[in-house]
Amino acid sequence: MESERGVSADMNDFSAYPGSIAAALRARWLGQGLDATLLPGDPTLVALLDTMYQASLLREEGVPVQCRVMFADPQTVADGCDDSVGTLHVLTFDQPTPLSAHNLRKLAAAAGFYRAVLGVMMDDDGLLVVWGMLVTGTDWVNRTQETGDKAGGRQNVRLPPNLLVQVLSPGHLIAASGYTRVLESSRGQLHTDGFDPFQSLWLQRRFRSVRETLMSELDEHRKNSESMPPASCRVCDHFIRDVAQATVKRTLRLVRTRRHGGILVYLPTGAGNPGSDESSRLDEWFRFRVRFTADESTLRFRRLIVRLLQRVAVVGDAHGMDLVTWDDCQHMQDAEISQVTEALIEFSHLLADLMSVDGSLVLDHTFQLIGFGGEILGNSHARKIHQALDLEVESYVVEPADTSGTRHRSAYRLVSGCHEALAVIVSQDGDVRFVAQHEGNLTYWPYLP
């Protein structure tokens, strides 16, 4: 409960809501094998989450509170820091200030959500206090689960594995261990029902021909290029898949953070090229706010992938490597690789920006840009949809399709009538669904990033 002195840690003072979040957080924290000693005791954990939740409901100068808070003592954080690039910039307050929703609202303006974290600890009187701020910079925004602490040889700021709680919007909290997401709560719901469709075999099969074509082009380029050595170093078969997935995951994360929502649609390769069979069907299914001219400028992602494949093969050969993976690439100290990975990050931001326009962003399987702001047309009607209960839909439940919102129903209508389409729906509350035809059934997979 909040007082003038700060927050007490009496469990009896709180509603069941923060208590249920705390219980779920502890269970998932331990289930992921994280260090149990880094979590505060139950009364303190509930007190922290309750205060964060209450702060999320406040506004400062008309703007909803957004902030990040880490439970860690100053000495623990300071021990891992120095003056070098790639470490936290830690600023300690002369006098700790009580942790309260009101104080968080005021401090959040100084400790900007995208650049800094507030440090919180328990003082000698058993009260939660804010002792300082940790300046992280903005690189963490571009991280995905796969990118690790480095991208293209650039060192990102490391965070200790302590409990980190983010306030994104009213009632929307994310708890993490450093950069590792543990639990999310939004509008009174714990986001625990979902999985990662990126790991499914059905999704990999849909894009297999694109990957095989690009790898064949790399082999052909190596045979005919004087600047590339003989193929002693092989690029991993999953390299293209991993880069593409990291790009899309980053895009989805940006869209979720912005709280706007959107639809990302993938159509078969060549769907945006005039004269193709697939292109003739575009007008049947979409009315675009903007449709791009099908020239080289729409092939940005493909050109970046080709350039990256060629360069990592050269660098891998130079280092005597037999095989180069996407993880290896991210640790390579090479200027050209850094440039390409930066360009891929910018491409993710571009996709997120295009998704912010009402309607759908439409690409083909090579990530060729077709158009955005696409109103989904067609007269197909989806009456039911299968919710996958596992990645390969070995089990499912059938739901009425017309109980979802407008954005979801339009995507269902598209995939129901255009069986080759894949739609990724991001709702305003952060819910993400993959929608596709699977063995003749309209199916969706809840994605828990």
Domain with residue 403: its CATH number is 3.40.1700.10
Q: What is the pLDDT, as a whole number, of residue 1?
A: 42
Q: Is 111 within the bounds of a domain?
A: yes
Q: What is the pLDDT, as a whole number, of residue 194?
A: 63
Q: Is 344 within the bounds of a domain?
A: yes
118 and 137 inside one domain: yes
Instruction: Tell me: pLDDT of 230 over 60.
Output: no
Higher-scoring residue by pLDDT: 327, 88:
327
167 and 259 inside one domain: no
Please tell me whether residue 74 adopts helix, strand or coil conformation.
Answer: helix
User: Which residue, among 377, 384, 378, has the nearest Cα to 441 in the 3D structure?
Assistant: 384
Instruction: Tell me: pLDDT of 259 over 50.
Output: yes
237 and 335 inside one domain: yes
- Alpha-carbon distance of 243 to 157, in angstroms, equals 21
231 and 253 inside one domain: yes
162 and 258 inside one domain: no
141 and 219 inside one domain: no
Of 184-188, 340-344, 422-426, which gets the smallest average pLDDT? 184-188
Look at residues 174, 190, 206 and tell me which one is the last residue of a structural domain.
190
Backbone angles phi, psi at 416, to 5 degrees: -65, -35
Q: What is the pLDDT, as a whole number, of residue 326?
A: 92
Q: What is the pLDDT, as a whole number, of residue 404?
A: 81
325 and 392 inside one domain: yes
Please tell me whether residue 232 adopts helix, strand or coil conformation.
Answer: coil
Of 30-34, 73-77, 207-211, which gets the smallest average pLDDT? 73-77
Q: What is the pLDDT, as a whole number, of residue 141?
A: 61
Q: Across residues 370-387, what is the average pLDDT? A: 89
One-letter amino acid for residue 354 of the chain:
L
Higher-scoring residue by pLDDT: 318, 219:
318
Higher-scoring residue by pLDDT: 1, 138:
138
Q: Is 1 within the bounds of a domain?
A: no
408 and 366 inside one domain: yes
Look at residues 190, 211, 245 and tell me which one is the last residue of a structural domain.
190
Q: What is the pLDDT, as a whole number, of residue 10?
A: 46
332 and 436 inside one domain: yes
357 and 341 inside one domain: yes
Domain span holding position 25: 11-190
Q: Is 6 within the bounds of a domain?
A: no
Q: Is 3 within the bounds of a domain?
A: no
- Alpha-carbon distance of 219 to 310, in angstroms, equals 9
- Alpha-carbon distance of 206 to 260, in angstroms, equals 28
Q: Is 180 within the bounds of a domain?
A: yes
144 and 233 inside one domain: no
- Alpha-carbon distance of 206 to 288, in angstroms, equals 25
Identify whether the C-beta of residue 445 lies closer than 8 Å to the C-beta of residue 434.
Answer: yes
180 and 205 inside one domain: no
Q: Across residues 392-400, what is the average pLDDT? A: 91
Q: What is the pLDDT, as a whole number, of residue 284?
A: 86
Of 2-6, 354-358, 432-436, which gets the smallest average pLDDT? 2-6
Q: Is 46 within the bounds of a domain?
A: yes
Which residues does residue 67 pair with via DSSP β-bridges, in sequence order? Answer: 167
Q: Is 4 within the bounds of a domain?
A: no
Q: Across residues 370-391, what is the average pLDDT? A: 89
Residue at token pair 């993880």:
327
Look at residues 190, 224, 251 and tell me which one is the last residue of a structural domain.
190
Query: Binning pLDDT at 50, 70 and 90, where does residue 14 land?
Result: very low
Residues in the chain: 449
Identify whether the C-beta of residue 59 lies closer than 8 Å to the C-beta of residue 108.
Answer: no
Number of domains the chain contains: 2
Higher-scoring residue by pLDDT: 258, 285:
285
Q: Across residues 410-417, what is the average pLDDT? A: 93
Of 97-111, 151-165, 246-260, which gets the smallest average pLDDT? 151-165
In angstroms and rounded to an integer, the radius of gyration of the C-alpha atoms of the chain is: 24
